[in-house]
Amino acid sequence: MFEYELETNLDREYECEFASEYESEEFLPFLVPLLAKAAPMAIKAIGGLIGGRRRNRQREFEFEYEGEYESQYESEYEGDPFIGNLLQGLGSAIGLGEGEYEYEYEFESEFESPSSSSSRSSSMSEYEMIMENLAYRAAHSESEAESEAFLGALVPMATRLIPSAAKAISAVAPQLIQGVAKMGRALYNSPSTRQLLQTVPEVLKGTVKTLAHQVAQGKPLSQKTAVRALAANTAKVLDNPKKVNTVMKKSHKVQHQLQPKINGKCRCA
Amino acid sequence: MLDGETMQHELEREFENEFEGEGNYEYESEYEGEEFFGSLMQGSGGVLGGMGEGEYEYENEYESEAFFKKIRGFARKLAPILKQVAPIAARAVGTAIGGPGVGQAVGAIAGQLARESEYEYESEYEFEGEFESEYESESAPQPEALAEALAAMASQVQSEAEAEAYTGAFTARIIPIKSHSMRQISPKLVKGAATLTRTLRKSPATRPLVKTVPTIVARASNTLARQAAQGKPIAPQTAARVMAAETRKVLGNPMTCAKTLMRSSGAASKVNKPLPAKTQKRRRQPVYE
């Protein structure tokens, strides 16, 4: 078993409160089936915001009964065609390296710029660090409602990362908040997927960049555009186990930067 | 843009509907004063003049005495509810941020002040415009319109989780991240605001008060940011006391609360786009054979 799972006094020197098995290379094979379940769940939850009229009633029904009827609709999705295409494309990145993954959606090819694809800068802005901390708290909060509060706080933080487009993106902030809330609820429900909430900052950063690119091109931002961008970036992160692994490692490092005093040693990468 | 009279009518309607309903509320036992939710519906008028704190933040059209009288009337209706909810809310916020010890301490203070405030309001009623606290000596921080709009959504949505998501969002918008101390304490403030929203949403009678949370957060953030700018570290207990104090100041003073709600509604209405006018469709005339 992995050392992170041992909670005996003998292993105290290796305990780290911020560590997660998801950042372990050995855990990757176990991460694949988990993401195969989590990614479509999260994307469908987001897609429910822009489903068709009939699906909206069904989604409301679903929402009202807290997912009691969700299993019936799991295999069939007849909502937004963009979301449908995303769901069909899931699984193509599993096993592939980063950069080999492509979605068939209008934003991706226009967005990919040389600087963004190769940027692995270790320096993070203050807002990014706070986002990582908020996402960590969301993943480890006592209740779903509290988790949602932390997730909701991520949206304005992400908006501030690109000041030039902040005003335009703020106009669709309520839809992004709803989308993040729905995704958060879907991932929080299961203890095995709860830790994936730590990937939400990465999802939101990508979403904001996508929307900023749209703004820079002079295209108007609509509610549907924002939700689709969020869904696409969710797929981009959650459908890629190596990306999840990298994001979790980064989150772990940031927690230590924000809270340098720890009780024991940490096996940091 | 809504004028003062329209805003006041809308807010009164929002609270009147809650007042007239039957009070079958389900509450968690951790919140003391379960009995107070029942007593909310008893319609105790409460003598409350409600002298505010000397803030005149409105445009010229709002500064008329008639408008001020309307606010006072609105404050009078809020008073019975606020008298009981303010200590509970302050205690909940204090506990969420600083722990049970801080929560109990601030709750006791808030309760004592709430009991004393009846007399305070009656005496200050005559001294309009003269009372100012140290926090109101400068212009009080006002949340931006989008934050107010998100708070309005948080007060209206059915889902608790969604309401807290909006709360987290407007709190993050309001908190100034200008120092390491504020960065450290911001998650605590998010948690405090979420707890406050959850407390106020427990009862339909107090749900509209969620719109005051941005102002409470803005005031608390302003105070903490000033402290951080002086190089003083901000402990969670300090943040808890400050936020609980601002909660008490806003919710414990009916005039302040009334003005906050009216300003919030006005700001939120600027953000919300008006619904498209319904086009009158001609109905086909029935054909009778």
Q: Is the pLDDT of residue A206 over 90?
A: yes
Q: Is position A119 within any domain?
A: no
Domain membership of residue A214 as a residue range: 3-91+125-258
Domain membership of residue B230 as a residue range: 4-20+48-271
Q: What number of C-beta contacts closer than 8 Å exist between A and B?
A: 89
How far is the alpha carbon of A155 from chain B, nearest alpha carbon, in Å?
6
Residue B53 pLDDT level (bands cut at 50, 70, 90): very low
* pLDDT tens digit sequence for B193-212: 999 999 999 999 999 999 99
Nearest to B165 among A63, A129, A181 (CB): A181
- Say what the pLDDT of residue B144 is: 85
DSSP notation for B26-53: ---TTSS-HHHHHHGGG-----------
Nearest to A134 among B149, B159, B187 (CB): B187
Q: Is position B88 within any domain?
A: yes
Q: Is position B232 within any domain?
A: yes
Q: Is position A233 within any domain?
A: yes
Residue A115 pLDDT level (bands cut at 50, 70, 90): very low
Q: Which segment, B3-17, B61-75, B167-181, is predicted with the most confidence on average?
A: B167-181
Lowest-confidence pick of A172-181, B97-106, B124-133: B124-133
What ipTM describes this predicted complex? 0.76
Instruction: Indicate yes or no: CB of B198 within 8 angstroms of CB of A126.
Output: no
Query: Higher-confidence residue: B24 or A84?
Result: A84
Nearest residue in chain B measured CA to CA from A131? B187
**Total domains present in chain B:** 1
Q: Is position B234 within any domain?
A: yes
Interface test with A, best of B150, B153, B159, B170 (most A CBs within 10 A): B159
Q: In this structure, are residues A105 and A82 in contact, taking their beta carbons and an 8 Å threshold?
A: yes
Q: Is position A65 within any domain?
A: yes
* pLDDT tens digit sequence for A9-41: 444 445 677 777 777 777 777 888 889 899 999
How far is the alpha carbon of B37 from chain A, nearest alpha carbon, in Å?
22
For residue A219, what are the CA distances in angstroms to A122, A158, A213, A215, B258? 32, 20, 9, 6, 41
Q: Is position B278 within any domain?
A: no
Q: Is position B267 within any domain?
A: yes
Q: Is position B276 within any domain?
A: no
Of A251, A233, A255, A254, which Cα lies nearest the Cα of A112?
A233
Instruction: Indicate yes or no: CB of A170 within 8 angstroms of CB of B146.
Output: yes
Residue A209 pLDDT level (bands cut at 50, 70, 90): very high
Nearest to B169 among A129, A153, A184 (CB): A153
Q: In this structure, are residues B176 and B221 in contact, taking their beta carbons and an 8 Å threshold?
A: yes
- Say what the pLDDT of residue B28 is: 40
Nearest residue in chain A measured CA to CA from B198? A145
How far is the alpha carbon of A162 from chain B, nearest alpha carbon, in Å?
14
**Total domains present in chain A:** 1
Q: Is the pLDDT of residue B8 over 70?
A: no
**N-term to C-term CA, chain A:** 18
Nearest residue in chain B measured CA to CA from A152? B165
Q: Is the pLDDT of residue A211 over 50?
A: yes
